[in-house]
Amino acid sequence: MKTFNFIRGWLAALLIFFPSSARCMTIQEEEELSQKFMVEINAHYEIIHDSVISNYINKIGEKILTVTPPQNFQYRFYVIKEDVYNAFAGPGGQIFIHSGLFEALENEDELAGIIAHEISHVICRHISQQMEQSKKVGIGALAGVAAGVLLGAAGAGAVGSAAALGSLAASQSLMLAHSREDETQADQRGVDFLIQAGYSPKGLLTSLTKIRSKQWFGKDQVPTYLMTHPAVEDRMAYLSAWIDANPAKISRLPRHSNLVFNWTHTRLVAMFGTEKDALKDFKSWVSREPDNVMALYGYGLILARTGNRNAAVDRFREALTRRAFDPVLLTELGKTYFLDGRYTEALGILQGALDISPDETESLFYTGRCYMELGKFQEASRTLESLLRNTPDYPDAMFYLGSAYGSLGRTSEACYYLGRFYYIRGDYRNAALQLEKALETTPDPQKKAEIEMLLEDAKKRHTVKLRESETRRR
């Protein structure tokens, strides 16, 4: 059902723009659609709101974008917590990679290759082209096209329905040639971008090799990346031929360190991978290399995640003796103290991390939470405001900022941020309740207009949910 709930909501958003006949979207329409698309993503999937991981993947995306033509969209890059091999581009410059695929990658060239390919899909306006094609295949096939583009977001195990596969097969039979052309074009543009940004296209080839080796996930299950990105064998052949034909271009590429990739990958596996496997692997790594800071870091993360906070503190402290004043290590130590209820100690360590790296998102978040636990709501609100200025799409920060404002008696602002939090999380009933209160007390006309728009959409979405629930009961 998770698959169909997502596709149903996404198709509803599509039909707002294509009520009777399809046409190619304008830039403004695609941007508006991207906002609705993001609401559906947040409602059905867990985006990893981790500053280290998010900042890293966005820096790679931004590095590639520096060599592209001027863009109409503000690109954003996200990691979805799903143990599947997939990546996809949404409307309006939104790029998503699943944590399962990120875990399988081994270096920055591979990750950059995946990201460059998805950026190329956006630059080539392939989503808009598919909407244009829907005029020829009809609205029924449009549903299948949307499923074909986005099924990967649902996870491998969710797709078992004959109805879904039937719709998908019907539409894909009409769209397959176009999709293959899209993949070829995205690879051609992607290779150019990679070379100009200083990355080797060998990374895209080796990442596709990994994906191809995991084509099927189990009986009657659809391979996610291969469903959303067809003709992977042709793509691999093209990339191999290009690499063989251009040895000079590749030899001139600068050598870059994979240190940041390795730290980020370690964090991803420890914090969002399978707990049992991560605990076993990091314990074994530390046993083999007791002085390895990265191994200590990963082991500390998984120990804290599994509730063994005293042992986690020991590992972080060991790592800090070898890499003193590292803001990421300090943040994790402070966060662990916070989770253990040691708020004053946590606050001191987190403030030390912020002295070194003032915009560190995770440090700001837990500093704000420490202030709240210590009853310092004014300081909490200022800290969380700073976080949201730099990272506006951090739902948990919205929740705690709303809570801090509530404790300060700033009802209008409290309801506004709580309303936004519930809206992003897909809890439209509570979103509407909070936004109605915010609307009653907000003096700012511009803020009122924003709240009215959110409130109207939240009410519509709540009504749709009620109707769907009633239909299921029947």
Residues near 175 by beta carbon (within 8 Å), at least 6 away in sequence? 130, 133, 137, 141, 145, 148
CA distance linking residue 303 with residue 296, whole number of Å? 10
**Amino acid 176: pLDDT:** 37
Instruction: State the average pLDDT for the chain.
Output: 83
Domain boundary among 234, 251, 268: 251
Asked whether the beta carbons of 57 and 173 are under 8 A apart, the reply is no
pLDDT digits (tens, 9 = 90+) for 259-274: 999 999 999 999 999 9
Return all residues near 17 (Cβ < 8 A) that are at least 6 apart: 25, 29, 32, 33, 131
User: Is the same domain home to 214 and 340?
Assistant: no
Residue 69 is given by DSSP the state P
Overall domain count for the chain: 2
pLDDT at 283: 97
- With b meaning 16 or more CB within 10 Å and e meaning fewer, what string describes 72-108? ebebbbbbbbbbbbbbbbbbbbbbbbbbbbbbebbbb
Say what the pLDDT of residue 24 is: 60
Q: Are residues 68 and 198 in the same domain?
A: yes
pLDDT in tens, 105-152: 999 999 999 999 999 988 887 666 665 554 444 433 433 344 344 443
Last residue within a domain, chosen from 251, 283, 311: 251
For the cut 60, the answer to whether the pLDDT of residue 7 exceeds it is no
Domain identity same for 300 and 423: yes
Do residues 447 and 327 both lie within one domain? yes
Out of 202, 224, 251, pick the residue that ends a domain. Answer: 251
pLDDT digits (tens, 9 = 90+) for 51-101: 789 989 999 999 999 999 988 888 999 999 988 888 888 888 889 999 999
Please state the pTM of the whole predicted model: 0.79
- Crossing angle between the packed helical segments 27-44 and 2-17, to the nearest 10 degrees: 160
| For range 175-182, the mean pLDDT | 59
Q: What is the CATH number of the domain that holds 348?
A: 1.25.40.10
Both 227 and 326 in a single domain?
no
Q: How far is CA 446 from CA 125, 348, 414, 442, in A?
A: 32, 39, 17, 10
What CA–CA distance (Å, rounded) separates 131 from 124?
Answer: 13
**Both 228 and 327 in a single domain?**
no
Residues 70 and 186 placed together within one structural domain of the fold: yes
Question: Given a cut of 60, is residue 404 above it in pLDDT?
Answer: yes
Specify the pLDDT at position 6.
52
pLDDT of residue 34: 75
Query: Is 246 in the same domain as 274?
Result: no
Q: What is the DSSP letter of 470?
A: H
Compute CA distances 367 → 120, 240, 386, 398, whole Å: 39, 49, 11, 14
Q: For residues 220 and 321, state if they share a domain.
A: no
Q: Are residues 442 and 366 in the same domain?
A: yes
Q: Are 175 and 148 in contact (CB under 8 A)?
A: yes
Rounded CA gap, 297 and 52, in Å?
Answer: 13
Convert the pLDDT of each residue in 227-243 to its tens digit: 667 678 889 999 999 99
Q: Are residues 228 and 280 in the same domain?
A: no
Number of residues in the chain: 474
Distance CA 123, CA 92 (A): 10
Q: Which residues pair with 97 in a beta bridge?
A: 79, 87
Give me the pLDDT at residue 227, please.
Answer: 64
Q: How many CB atoms lie within 10 A of CB 243?
A: 17
pLDDT at 105: 97
Given CA atoms 270, 276, 282, 286 in this order, what sign does their dihedral have? positive
For residues 244 and 275, state if they share a domain. no
Which residue segment(s) compose the domain that 425 sits in? 259-473
* Burial environment of residue 24 by CB neighbours within 10 A (0 to 12, 13 to 18, 19 or more): middle
User: Does residue 169 register a pLDDT over 70?
Assistant: no
